[in-house]
Amino acid sequence: MLRRTKPVRTAAERILMAKRTCLHDIHVELGGRIVDFAGWDLPVQFEGILAEHTHTREHVSLFDTGHMGQLLISGPGVGEQLAAALSQDAVKLPVGRAKYGFLLTEAGTIIDDTILKRLGEDEFFLVVNAATAAIDAKTLRARLSDDIEIVVLASWGKLDVQGPEALDVLQPITEIDLTTMGYFGVCRTQVLGHDCILSRTGYTGELGWEIYMSQATLPEVCRALLESPNVKPAGLGARDSLRLEMGYALYGHELSQDVTPVDAAMEFFFDAERDFVGATALRTQISDGTNGKLVMIDSAQRRRFNTGDTILSDGEEIGIVTSGVFGPSLGRVIGMGFVRPEFTQVGTELTIATARAEITATVGQMPLYKDGTCRKKLS
């Protein structure tokens, strides 16, 4: 008997919960299989996860990330205030640049992971996860003074154009010269004549841009890009295997309010000597050590391990899997998980106990996929 093991939402739950992005009709037209993700109806796949993954590594794919939160934060002296509210040093961030970092609790645990973009001297753009967007806005409101304006861009969509051929398909419809934008560059410009924010960022490891634009005009841009024979739509399935091959953490899997950036082995993303909410707790953790550290898990085989599976060493429980996936570009199953600090050395042998079998794996060197084009110099 063939039984699928994924949980399925009831019809009532779907109607009550489902939110749709402005690109929903396009997904349905293109045969996307729609699933629930953080309360949003989004395509998990079109043609197939493996084909979409490979297409992204070789050509260019479009990912609808309209579920993510977009906050415009502006006002006099906003840089100093954001620098205290977030792990990113907003004061040092040059206009036109983006930086990855965290919104933390006083205890140093992660409310959300975010990308902060500086659009102007007193204007920032913060892109956050869907499930945490509301608490992020509320937390920032409480941390910033009343003369700082926070605008949630609820009527904006987001489209990620990702793959080594992204420049070739996006440049013809973009106002600015994209080759002038370095990795993590950001600007206001026009795509297909429509105002937008553009950042050279992504979640795949490949060259690409993220387009932030009004929901009224983004579908037109999506359709225009799809006219190119080298552009295909891709779903959440490929997004997950692409990000795991690069070792990018996902909120809700690797990151949560139960862990700090030190637990997540992300010390290189912030300066702990600087003062921001949560920094004191992080400094203590850096000097005293942590109970667990996030590692990349590499296996030499195709049998999958899953979120929640136990990690063992010599029969003793030493950790837990946070993500597991077949990596199509690597041809083997990979993932991430938290292990006790003495087991974080690259090459350390691990055993993963799944519901079906015990799998042998090792701690891997991040990123496992090393041929990504995201940092490619364009000029």
| 260: nearest Cα among 226, 290, 301, 217 | 290
Tell me the CB-side half-sphere exposure of residue 161, using CA atoms within 13 A: 28
Residue number, 156 or 326, with CB nearest to other proteins? 326
9 binds other proteins (CB under 8 A): no
Contact 48, 250 (CB under 8 A): no
Q: Quote the least distance from Cβ 302 to other proteins, whole Å.
A: 4
Q: Quick check: 51 binds other proteins (CB under 8 A)?
A: yes
Q: Which listed range, 45-53, 250-258, 261-269, 367-375, lies at the site for other proteins (CB under 8 A)?
A: 45-53
| 43 near other proteins (CB under 8 A) | no
Q: Which of 253, 248, 346, 358 is nearest to 303 (CA)?
A: 358
Out of 42, 49, 90, 259, the only residue in the binding site for other proteins (CB under 8 A) is 49
Task: Find, among 222, 221, 179, 231, the residue nearest to 47 by Cα.
Answer: 231
Is residue 287 part of the contact set for other proteins (CB under 8 A)?
no
Q: How many residues bind other proteins (CB under 8 A)?
A: 23
Give whichever of 237 and 247 is closer to other proteins, judged by the CB atom: 237
The reply on whether position 61 binds other proteins by CB under 8 A is no
Is 233 near other proteins (CB under 8 A)?
no
With CB under 8 A as the contact rule, the residue among 1, 11, 142, 154 that binds other proteins is 1
The nearer residue to other proteins, 133 or 325, going by C-beta atoms, is: 325
Q: Which is nearer to other proteins, 57 or 293 (CB)?
A: 57
- Tokens 């690069």 found at: 246
Q: Does 340 bind other proteins (CB under 8 A)?
A: no
> Under the criterion CB under 8 A, does residue 96 sit at the interface with other proteins?
no
Give the footprint of other proteins on residues 239-258 (CB under 8 A).
Answer: 241
At its nearest, how many Å lie between other proteins and the CB of residue 222?
A: 23
By CB under 8 A, residue 16 contacts other proteins = no
Q: How far is the CB of 30 from other proteins (least distance, A)?
A: 16
183: tokens are: 């990795």
* 359 makes contact with other proteins (CB under 8 A): no
| 10 binds other proteins, rule: CB under 8 A | no
- The residue within the footprint of other proteins, chosen from 203, 326, 338, 369 (CB under 8 A), is 326
- Inter-residue contact 263 to 322 (CB < 8 Å): no
Q: Is 48 in the site for other proteins (CB under 8 A)?
A: yes
Closer by beta carbon to other proteins, 1 or else 16:
1
Considering only residues 303-322, where is the footprint of other proteins by CB under 8 A?
Answer: 303-304, 306
Residue 216 or 357: the one with the smaller Cβ distance to other proteins is 357
- Tokens found for residue 155: 């009527």
Rounded least distance, CB 6 to other proteins, Å: 5
Residue closer to other proteins by CB (options 264, 368) is 368
Binding part of the chain for other proteins, among 46-54, 61-69, 95-103, 132-140 by CB under 8 A, reads 46-54
377 binds other proteins (CB under 8 A): no
Binding-site ranges for other proteins (CB under 8 A): 1-6, 44-45, 48-51, 237, 241, 302-304, 306, 325-326, 328, 333, 356
